[in-house]
Amino acid sequence: MTALPAAGPVAPAGNWLTDLRATPATLAQWWVLTVRLIVPAIVTGEIVTAILAPITFTISFYIPLNRVMTFAGLGFSSYAQFMAPIVILQAAAFTAVSAAFRAATDAVSGLDRRFDAMPMHPLVPAAARMSANVFRLLIGLVSAVASIYYIGFRFEGGALHTAGFLALGLLIGIAFSLGADAIGTFTRSPEATTQMLVLPPLILGMLSTGLAPAHQFPHWVQFFVRNQPVSQFAEGLRALGGDRLGKSAPVTWSLMTPPLLWIAAIVAVSLFFIARQNLKRS
Amino acid sequence: MATLDRPQATDTLVFGEASVPALLRHTWIQTQRLLLRWVRDPITLLETLIVPCLLLLMLDIVVGSQIQKFSGHSALYGSTPMVTLVGALSGTVASGVMLGREREAGILSRFWVLPVHRASGLAARILAEGCRIFAGTVVIICFGMALGFRFRQGPLQAFAFLWIPVLFGLAFATMVTAIAVFTAKSTLVEAVALLSSLLMFFSTGFVPLAAYPKWITPVVQHQPMSVAVDTMRALAEGGPIATPLTSTIAWSLGLIIAFAIPAAYGYRRASRR
C-alpha cells in the first residue's frame, strides 16, 4: 500500500498504529457470548433437562417418602406443602452443576485463554455464562413451581410472601451458580464436576430439614441439620410459602436473616474468586 | 556415534497388531493408562470412593430408623447394595465424559493410526471400569460393615455379592459409551444423572416396597436397580434369590446386547474422526 495522507485520525509516527486499540463493545460482546450459550441449548433440546430435573426431584421425594414421613408426623397440613422448598433447592443445585460443567469445559478446552487474548473486558465471558445460567434457572424454577403445585402445594402467604418465595428461590439459584462457576473454572475438570451432579446436593438436601423435621434426626447430628445452609434456605422458603392450617413459622427478620446472610456470603466469596480467576492474565 | 543395540526380542513387536497376544498386551497397557489417570486425579478418586460412603451414612441417618420400625429389618441390607450400584453408575458417567474428551483431544485417533490392536481401546475401558467399580464396592462395603452391615450367608455368597455391581455397572457403561459418542456431553451427563436418581429413589433399596403407592409397585419391583439390590440383599442377609438373580442377569445382558454394537460402532467412529 502506498503511503497516502491519513484520512481519519492522524496515524502515529511510523504508521504502525501501535497506539490504536480496538474498542471493546462490552455490551455487544456479552450479548453474543450469551446467545452462544443459550441458542444451542434450545436448538439441541438440551434445555429439556432443566424442565425435567425438578419434575424428577418432585416425584423422587414425594412418592417414596410421603407415607413414611406422614406416618411419623410432621405438624404440617400436607407433605407436599412441607417438602416444596427442597424441590426448589434441588432445582437450583442442578442448574448450578450444569454451570460448573460449562465453566470447567470452557477452562479446559482453552476457550478462556482465547477470550483472554481478545480485546474485551475480562469479565465478559463469566458474565455471559452467568446470564445463560440465570436463563436455565428461570426455566427450572417455573418447572419446579409447576410440579410442586401439581402434588398439592399452594401459596398460602399472600402476594408479598409469594413474591418473596420466588425471589428467594432465584437468589439462592444465582448464588449457587456463581459458586459453581468459580469451582468449575478452578477444577478445569468436567469429569470431576459430573460426579457432583447427583450425590453431594442429595446428601446435603437429605441431611437438612427439607425432607424431615429436625427432631426426627438422631441427636448427635441435629445440630448440623438445624444449622446448615440448606436447612436455613428451606425454613425461609417454607415460612414464605405458608400453610393452610397456619402451621408454618411466621415470617420474621430473625428467620430470614440467616438465609440472606448465607446467600450474601456465597455470592461475595464466589465473586471474589471469579474476579481473581478472570482478571489475572493467564 | 550412537548405534542401535540388537533389539531385545521381548521388547519389540514380534507379533502382528491384530493378533491375540497383541490384544492382551495392548489391553493391559491401556488399562494401566486409564487406571493411572484415575488414581492420579485426586478429585475423581475422592468422589468415587468417599462420596458414596457419605451417601450411605446419610441414608442410614435419615431413613434408617424409620425403615427399621416399618419393616422390622435393618435398612442397611437394602441401602448398602443400592449405594454400591449408585457409585458404579456415577462412575460410568465420569468415564463417558472422559471418553468424549479423549476423542476431542485426538488421542483415540492417534491410537487408531498406531500399530495398536483395534479392540484393545474398548476392552481396556471395560476392564478399567470393572476395576474401578470393584474398588469402589469394596470401600463401600467396608464402610457399611462399620455401620453394622454383615454377610450372614458365607464366603461364597459374599464373593458373588462383590460381582453384582460390576456386572450392573458394565451394562450401564456400555449404554453410556453408546450414548456418549453420539450426543452432546452435558446432555448425556444430566440425563444419566436424572436417570440414576430416579432408579435410586424408586428402588427397594431406598424404602421397602410396601411404602410405595400401589400403582407404582410393579415398576419399582422390576426395575434393574431393585432386582440387583434384591439379589445382593439375598446374598448378604438371606432370602429368595432365584428370581432377582435371573432378572439382574437378564437386565444386564439385555443392556449389553442392545448397546454393544452401537458402542463398538461409535467408538470406531470416534477413533476415525
Residues 6+ apart with CB under 8 A from B146: none
Q: What is the pLDDT of residue B167?
A: 93
- Cell representation of residue A93: 443445585
Q: What angle do CA B123, B125, B128 make, to 5 degrees?
A: 110
* Whether B227 contacts B250, CB under 8 Å: no
Q: What is the pLDDT of residue B228?
A: 93
Contacts of B52 in chain A (CB under 8 A): 199
Nearest residue of chain A to residue B89 (CA atoms): A195
* Whether B208 contacts B70, CB under 8 Å: yes
Residue B4 inside a domain? The answer is no
* Whether A241 contacts A93, CB under 8 Å: no
Interface test mutation site (partner B, options A108, A191, A206, max chain B beta carbons within 10 A): A191
Residue B5 inside a domain? The answer is no
Among A53, A2, A82, smallest CA distance to A201 is for: A53
Distance from CA of A67 to the nearest CA of B (A): 6
Q: How many beta carbons lie within 10 A of that of residue B10, not counting itself? A: 6
Distance from CA of A191 to the nearest CA of B (A): 5
Domain ranges (residues) in chain A:
27-281
- Cell representation of residue A98: 450444569
How many residues belong to chain B? 273
Angle of helix B185-201 relative to helix B155-180, nearest 10 degrees, comes to: 150
Distance from CA of A281 to the nearest CA of B (A): 24
Residue B144 inside a domain? The answer is yes
Domain count, chain B: 1
Count of A-B CB contacts under 8 Å? 134
Q: What is the pLDDT of residue B9?
A: 56
Query: What CA–CA distance (Å, rounded) separates B264 from B181?
Result: 10
Distance from CA of A145 to the nearest CA of B (A): 18
- Cell representation of residue B80: 448398602
The boundaries of the domain holding residue B58 are: 21-271
Residues 6+ apart with CB under 8 A from A11: A17
User: Nearest by CB to B189, which of A194, A200, A211?
Assistant: A194
Residues 6+ apart with CB under 8 A from A73: none
User: Nearest by CB to B187, which of A46, A94, A217?
Assistant: A46
Please list the ranges in chain B whose pLDDT falls under 50.
none
User: Nearest by CB to B97, which of A191, A196, A221?
Assistant: A191
Q: What is the CA radius of gyration of chain A?
A: 23
Contacts of A108 in chain B (CB under 8 A): 101
Q: What angle do CA A214, A260, A50 make, to 5 degrees?
A: 80
Q: Of chain B residues 1-30, which have a CB less than 8 A from chain A?
A: none
Element (H, E) at B232: helix B224-236
Residue B42 sits at the chain A interface (C-beta within 8 Å): no
- The reply to whether residue B43 touches residue A212, judged by beta carbons under 8 angstroms, is no
Query: What CA–CA distance (Å, rounded) separates A186 from A180?
Result: 10
Q: What is the pLDDT along chain A (282 residues), one digit of tens a residue?
A: 445 554 555 555 556 666 677 777 889 999 999 999 999 889 888 889 899 999 999 998 898 888 777 776 667 888 899 999 999 999 999 999 889 989 999 998 899 989 988 888 889 999 999 999 999 999 999 999 999 999 989 998 889 999 999 999 999 999 999 999 999 998 888 877 776 666 788 888 888 988 888 888 888 888 999 999 999 999 999 999 988 877 778 888 899 999 999 999 999 999 999 999 888 765
Q: B39: helix, coil or strand? A: helix
Using the CB atoms, write b or e for A114-125: b if 16+ within 10 Å. Answer: ebeeeebebbbb
Contacts of A221 in chain B (CB under 8 A): 61
Contacts of A203 in chain B (CB under 8 A): 51, 54-55, 58
Torsion sign (Cα): A7, A11, A13, A16: negative
Residue B140 sits at the chain A interface (C-beta within 8 Å): no
Q: What angle do CA B187, B198, B245 make, to 5 degrees?
A: 115
Residue B89 inside a domain? The answer is yes
Distance from CA of B149 to the nearest CA of A (A): 19
Own/partner long-range contacts of A272-281 (Cβ < 8 Å, ≥24 apart): A273/A182, A273/A186, A274/A123, A274/A126, A274/A178, A274/A181, A274/A182, A274/A185, A275/A123, A277/A182, A277/A185, A277/A186, A278/A122, A278/A123, A278/A125, A278/A126, A279/A122, A279/A123, A281/A116
Query: What CA–CA distance (Å, rounded) separates A19 from B106?
Result: 41
Q: Quote the pTM value.
A: 0.81
Residue B158 inside a domain? The answer is yes
- The reply to whether residue B47 touches residue A190, judged by beta carbons under 8 angstroms, is no
- The reply to whether residue B70 touches residue A68, judged by beta carbons under 8 angstroms, is yes
Q: What φ, ψ does residue B202 adopt, rounded to 5°?
A: -110, 45
Query: What CA–CA distance (Å, rounded) separates B93 from A215?
Result: 36
